[in-house]
Amino acid sequence: MSEATSEQQAEQRHQIESTISRLFAPEDAGLQGALQAARDAGLPEIQINPIQGKLLQVLATACQARKILEIGSLAGYSGIWLARALPTDGHLITLEINPEHAEVVRASFANAGVGDRTEVRVGAALDLLPTLTTEGPFDLIFIDADKASYPQYLDWAIKLSRAGSIIIADNCVRDGVAFQQTATMDADTIGLVQYNQLTREDPRLTTIVLANDNDYTDGLNIAVVKAH
C-alpha cells in the first residue's frame, strides 16, 4: 500500500472537517444572513469558522454564561453564535471601533433573532473597557480585534472576569509564528506572541491553544480563570 500524499491527507482533513461542520455546526439563515450582509457591506471575510463558532457556544454553556463580552464585532458572526448560548435574560456586549460596521452587526443580530440579548458599543476597545467595570463580571470574554493590543485586552479581560470565566482569543497561531518573538516582527505579531506567553505563564489561568481554523494555520487561545 502506498503512502497517502500530503494532498490526499489535506483532502481527508477537509472532508472530516466538512462532516463535523454539517453534523455539529450547521449555519441557519441568521448566520448565513450575517455573512451575506458583511459581504454586501464590503467587510473582510475573516470571521471564525462554524466549528469555532460552535466551540464558543459549548464553552459559553459550560460556564453557564449570562454575561458575555466580545472585543471586536467584525460581521457579528461570532456574536450570533455566542448570543445563542445565553438564557433569555442574558446579555452580550460587543465592542466595535467602526460605526458603519456596528450598524451592519446590529441589523444582523436582529435578523438572527438575538437583538434583544445583544448590544453593540462603538469606540476603541481600550476606551470602552474601563467603562465596563460596573457591568461585569463577564462569564466569557472573546477577543478578536487589533492584535497589537491583545496583551492589554487580556489585562482587562481578567479584571472583568470571575473564577470560572473563560477568556478566548482568535488568531493565536498565525502560521505558527505566534509563539516566539523575533527581531523583525511587526506589532501585531508581537501582541500575539505576548498574549500566548502571558496566558501560558499566568498562575491565575489554565490555557491551551487549538489550531482549529480551516487549514490549521490559525486558531483559538482558550484560557479558564482559576482565581484572582
Name the residues that contact Mg ion, by CB under 5 A. 144, 170-171
Per DSSP, which regions of the chain are E strands? 67-71, 91-96, 118-122, 140-143, 166-169, 205-210, 220-225
State which residue has the least CB distance to Mg ion.
170
**Closest residue by Cα to residue 73 from 28, 39, 106:** 106
**Residue number with CB closer to ligand DHB (46 or 62):** 46
Which of 65, 94, 170, 173 is in the footprint of ligand DHB by CB under 6 A?
170
Cα-based angle 225, 126, 146 (whole degrees, multiple of 5): 85
Least separation in angstroms between CB 171 and ligand DHB: 5
Residue 96 interacts with, from ligand DHB, Mg ion, none (CB under 5-8 Å by kind): none
Question: In this structure, what C-alpha cell is assigned to residue 225?
Answer: 480563570
**Residue number with CB closer to Mg ion (111 or 171):** 171
Quote the DSSP letter at residue 172.
Answer: -
Instruction: Identify residues 13-52 at the interface with ligand DHB (CB under 6 A).
Output: 46
Can residue 139 be called a binding residue for ligand DHB (CB under 6 A)?
Answer: no
Least separation in angstroms between CB 122 and Mg ion: 19
Radius of gyration, alpha carbons of the chain: 18
Can residue 210 be called a binding residue for ligand DHB (CB under 6 A)?
Answer: no
Which of 65, 144, 165, 225 is in the footprint of ligand DHB by CB under 6 A?
144
**Residue number with CB closer to ligand DHB (171 or 207):** 171
What span, in angstroms and rounded, lies between the C-alpha atoms of 224 and 163?
8
What span, in angstroms and rounded, lies between the C-alpha atoms of 187 and 155?
18
> Can you give the binding site for ligand DHB, defined by CB under 6 A?
46, 144, 170-171
